[in-house]
A and B are shown apart, each in its own frame.
Chain A
Amino acid sequence: MAKKVLRELRLNRDWCKGCGICVSFCPKNVLELDSKDKVVAVRPEDCICCMLCELRCPDLAIEVLTDQESDNE
Chain B
Amino acid sequence: MAVKDYLRERFFPHMWCPGCGHGTILNSLIRAVEELDLNKNEIVMTSGIGCSARISGYVDFHSLHTLHGRALTFATGVKLSRPHLKVLVPMGDGDALAIGGNHFIHAARRNIDITAIVMNNRIYGMTGGQFSPLSGPGVKATTAPFLTIDSSFDVVELAKAAGATFVARSTAYHAKEATGYLKKAIMHKGFSVVEILSQCPTHYGRKNKEGDAVSMLELHKTNTAPLGSKALKENPSLTPRGIFVDVERPEYCSEYDKIIDYAMKEAR
**In contact, A18 and B18 (Cβ under 8 angstroms):** yes
CA distance A60 to B28 in the complex (A): 10
**In contact, B23 and A20 (Cβ under 8 angstroms):** no
**Size of A's binding interface in residues, CB under 8 A:** 18
CA distance A15 to B22 in the complex (A): 15
**In contact, B26 and A60 (Cβ under 8 angstroms):** yes
Question: Given contacts A58-B23, A60-B26, is CB(A20)–CB(B13) below 8 Å?
Answer: no
Q: Give the interface residue-count category, chain B.
A: 20 to 34
From B130-138, B151-159, B189-197, B212-220, the one touching the partner chain is B212-220
Question: Given contacts A15-B12, A60-B7, is CB(A55)–CB(B214) below 8 Å?
Answer: no
Closest to A51 in B: B176
Contacts of B4 in A (CB 8 A): 60
CA distance A54 to B23 in the complex (A): 12
CA distance A50 to B25 in the complex (A): 19
A residues near B, CB below 8 A? 14-21, 24-25, 52, 55-61
11 residue pairs bridging A and B, Cβ less than 8 Å apart: A19-B19, A19-B201, A19-B213, A21-B19, A21-B217, A55-B24, A58-B16, A58-B20, A58-B21, A58-B23, A58-B26
